[in-house]
Amino acid sequence: MNTNHILGFDIGGTGIKGAVVDVRTGDLLTERVKIMTPDPAVPEAIGESVHTITRQLGYKGIIGCGFPAIIKNGIALSAANIDKSWIHTNVENLLSKYTECPVYVANDADVAGMGEQAFGFAANQPGTVIVLTIGTGIGSALFYNGTLVPNTEFGHLKFHKSIAEKYTSNAARKDKSLSWEEFGSRLNEYLQHLEFIFSPNLFILGGGISKKFDLYKDHFRLETAIVPARFQNDAGVIGAALYAHRIKG
């Protein structure tokens, strides 16, 4: 198998997506397979789901995986939108066991940011760039002059008596039946808060909500430039494959 063709996974609180990626270009070489995240999202159930997609794609080789948790040395140190039994689990070892392939794991928003930094709108951007993945929760990737600061978890910043992702994630939009105007206004508040703290040069919005950017962009009142992710909801899969390639390489 071509060593530049790597299977990437994006594991989220709602869905698990996988595709084989050409890490030289960021192109998907197979269909992007998606299945619903098991409920409860315990290690064994997610391991089986990842195995199912790997087998469906007929893949053997190294695998990259974006995972919705703080990840240090392959171990999950949090579990915001998956089962708490993941905490202190070695995600790399578990997924390697289920797939029978070497698996390399990092935070899901961090790898989505890597995809954008390598091939998307964050490429060659100087200064501070913040990539936000807005879905079941809010993930974040922080870059300074192209260097990633991992595991930032800006979706868990205290905000409006709770945390940011409870106020303005896509799940919050659905749960509260927010109009696009209401959602855009809430997201604007949160982005203004990040703008005040970090003075970024660029915001990039990823996750499923990035496909709807035109429906809420007019409600932003920001000093910072903001764009939807070039790869939209594929950024996590692309970045995960790229991460495995960089670690293995």
CATH number for the domain spanning 95: value is 3.30.420.40
Residues 11 and 105 in one domain: yes
Whether 108 has a pLDDT exceeding 90, the answer reads yes
Does 134 map to a domain? yes
Does 25 map to a domain? yes
The answer to whether the beta carbons of residues 97 and 138 sit under 8 Å apart is no
Residues 225 and 238 in one domain: no
**pLDDT for the residue 246:** 94
Residues 164 and 244 in one domain: no
Question: Is residue 217 packed enough to be buried (19+ CB in 10 Å), middle (13-18) or exposed (0-12)?
Answer: middle
Does 184 map to a domain? yes
Residues 241 and 179 in one domain: no
Question: Phi-psi region for residue 54, left (φ > 0), alpha (ψ -120 to 50) or beta?
Answer: alpha
pTM reported for the whole predicted model: 0.93
Q: How far apart are CA 151 and CA 92, in angstroms?
A: 17
Residues 183 and 239 in one domain: no
pLDDT tens digits for 6-35? 999 999 988 999 999 999 999 999 999 999
Residues 186 and 101 in one domain: no
Does 54 map to a domain? yes
pLDDT tens digits for 88-97? 999 999 999 9
pLDDT tens digits for 36-64? 999 999 999 999 999 999 999 999 999 99
The answer to whether the beta carbons of residues 134 and 81 sit under 8 Å apart is no
Does 115 map to a domain? no
Query: Could you tell me the residue range of the domain that residue 170 belongs to?
Result: 124-229
What residues have CB less than 8 Å from 79, skipping those under 6 apart? 68, 69, 85, 86, 87
Does 116 map to a domain? no
Does 225 map to a domain? yes
Residues 188 and 144 in one domain: yes
Number of domains in the chain: 2
Does 41 map to a domain? yes
